[in-house]
Amino acid sequence: MDEGEDSRLMRTKRAIRSLNTVPLAYNHQQHNVLESMRGSGGMSVDLYRPSLYDKLALSLVSPLPNEHDFAFNVCTILSNEGRHVLQLSHCPILVEHMLGHTGVYRDCKCHGYR
């Protein structure tokens, strides 16, 4: 074996070794913290509860115009009577985002009037 083949063989072994140490699946459980540990660690115990309309709300605040069109089309379809109906009580921020596209925004001084 000459020196070139030897160094190539060493690089191949090193690449195979590093490839075998990379996990093949992501461990989502590492982000789950018990509520008792959250309280003792000073973290918030109010966990986020996802809504069915979160992606729709994100589409409305997206800077991409195609996302706005998509979101308004979905809202139009869901506003018709049928099997799947838009439930604004599940995500009331949708109304604020839609009104924001027309230029109507909530006045920050009115927060106390709720």
Assigned domain for 46 exists: no
Q: Are residues 58 and 102 in the same domain?
A: yes
Assigned domain for 9 exists: yes
Q: Are residues 64 and 106 in the same domain?
A: yes
Q: Are residues 104 and 70 in the same domain?
A: yes
Assigned domain for 64 exists: yes
Domain count, the chain: 2
39 and 45 Cβ atoms separated by less than 8 Å: yes
**Chain segment 7-59, per-residue pLDDT in tens:** 777 777 777 776 667 677 888 888 888 888 888 888 888 888 888 889 999 99
The stretch 77-91 carries a mean pLDDT of 83
Q: Rounded to whole angstroms, how far apart are CA atoms 94 and 96? A: 5
Mean pLDDT, the chain, rounded, equals 81
Domain of 80, in residue numbers: 54-113
Q: Are residues 96 and 59 in the same domain?
A: yes
Q: Are residues 58 and 101 in the same domain?
A: yes
Q: Tell me, what DSSP letter sits at residue 111?
A: G
Assigned domain for 101 exists: yes
Q: Which of 107, 101, 103, 104 is nearest to 63 (CA)?
A: 101
Q: Are residues 26 and 62 in the same domain?
A: no
Query: Above pLDDT 90, what percent of the chain?
Result: 14
57 and 91 Cβ atoms separated by less than 8 Å: yes
